[in-house]
Every structure is written in structure tokens, then in C-alpha cells.
Amino acid sequence: MLTVHHLNNSRSQRVLWLLEELGVPYEIVRYQRQPDMRAPKELRAIHPLGKSPVITDNGNTIAESGAIIEYLIATYGNGRLIPPPNTPERLRFTYWLHYAEGSAMQPLLLKLLFTLMPKRAPALLRPLVRKVSNQALTTLVNPQLKQHMDYWEGELGKSEWFAGNEFTAADIQMSFPLEAAQARGGLEQGHPKAMAFLERIHARPAYARALEKGGPYQVGR
């Protein structure tokens, strides 16, 4: 049976959601983050990088969210949650599937890093680290993040979903950046269409079922 190696509070929640949307049977092997929020070393027995998400299926071990989504759609989708080939919607689907991790998550990760650095610095160095972090956030990270959030807002003004007027796996992939932006990027300020997107995905029954199976999920907190 298909197995999801599920790290709590991580991107692997999207994989559970996709499987619930597709109605594919699966089992979960659970891993808990360490106190420093890193994945436990046991995940390295599944994949050398020891990161999540990872799935195993029919002798295959597949990592990376985009690759997992492509595999699951091709293997179990039967044409669902993906636009038809050679259409503008399919091109948009491919773009958002890769953009989510390739571009969108970079400023969000930097935002998390520079926010945490002063809190974790030694007491004597904390004022200096805070000054450097605030400067980086003000001049580099926050402007980039705003540019991305404004971009999402504009694209969601063109259609209800990221790849067009139909819900697809690209929306599942894009859920994590938008949830992270809501948690730590100020998405709620001036981005009503992006916030409405989050309301729509959170209302989906498959999303709720995935939460029940995956456990507590708080992005960016």
C-alpha cells in the first residue's frame, strides 16, 4: 500500500490532502519534529536527506512535493485535478506546481529565519543580531514577500483557482505558501482574494479529512 512518511506540521500535509481528494487508500508512518523543529534522523532511513514529504509506493521512494504530486496524479488521478494537455490551463498548472517551492517559499523561509535569529542568539549578541535581522527584513525580505503576495492577488483576480476556473493539484501545492504568508507575512492586509482562496480550500471536505489524519497543523508558528 502507498505509504506517506508524515512529519507533523510540515509540507507532507499537502500530500495527505491530495490523497483524500483522489480517494486513494494509504497508510501513514508518523514522525515528530525535534525540539529545534528539525525532522528526526529516522527519516534518513527512508530518504538520504531525511526530509518530508516522502512517499513509498510499489517499490518507489519519492521525495519533493512537486514530484510527489506529479507521481500521484499520473498514477492515480485518471485525469482528475489536472487540466487537459495542450491548454493554457495546463501551462498555468505546471507553472504554479513548480513556482510554489521554487520561488514563493524563499522569502517566506527568510522571513522565518530572520525573525527567529534574535530570539535564539546569545543574550550578549541579541541586540546586534536583532539590528541586522530587522535591516534584512526591512530592506530585502518584506519587499520581496509583498511582491509575491500582490502577484497572487492579481492572479486570483483572473480566475477562481490558480490554474483556471477548476480546482487542481496546483492549488494544493500553492496552499502552503499562502498559509505561511497568512501566518507570518501579513497576507490578510490588502489581499482579499488570496484570503478568500484560503477560505475555499479550508472548507473542502478532503482538506478536513486530511487534517484529522495528519494531526495538528500550524504553518509558520
Distance CA 156, CA 158 (A): 5
pLDDT score of 205: 98
Range with lowest mean pLDDT among 5-14, 19-28, 141-150, 151-160: 5-14
Higher pLDDT, 38 or 174: 174
Grid cell at residue 105: 517559499
User: SS3 sequence, 89-133?
Assistant: HHHHHHHHHHHHHHHHHHHHHHHHHHHHHHHHCCCCCHHHHHHHH
Residues carrying CATH 3.40.30.10, the chain: 3-82+208-214
Distance CA 149, CA 192 (A): 11
Query: Angle at CA 64, nearest 5°, toward 143 and 99?
Result: 35
pLDDT band at 122 (very low <50, low <70, confident <90, very high): very high
Domain 88-204, CATH: 1.20.1050.10
pLDDT in tens, 87-96: 999 999 999 9
pTM of this structure? 0.93
Determine the average pLDDT of the residues in 19-33: 95
Topology of the domain covering 3-82+208-214? Glutaredoxin (3.40.30)
Q: In this model, does residue 97 exceed pLDDT 60? A: yes
pLDDT band at 221 (very low <50, low <70, confident <90, very high): very low
pLDDT in tens, 62-80: 999 999 999 999 999 999 9
Percent over 70 (pLDDT), the chain? 98
83 upstream amide cis, omega within 30 of 0 = no
Grid cell at residue 29: 508512518
pLDDT score of 162: 98
Residues carrying CATH 1.20.1050.10, the chain: 88-204
pLDDT score of 51: 86
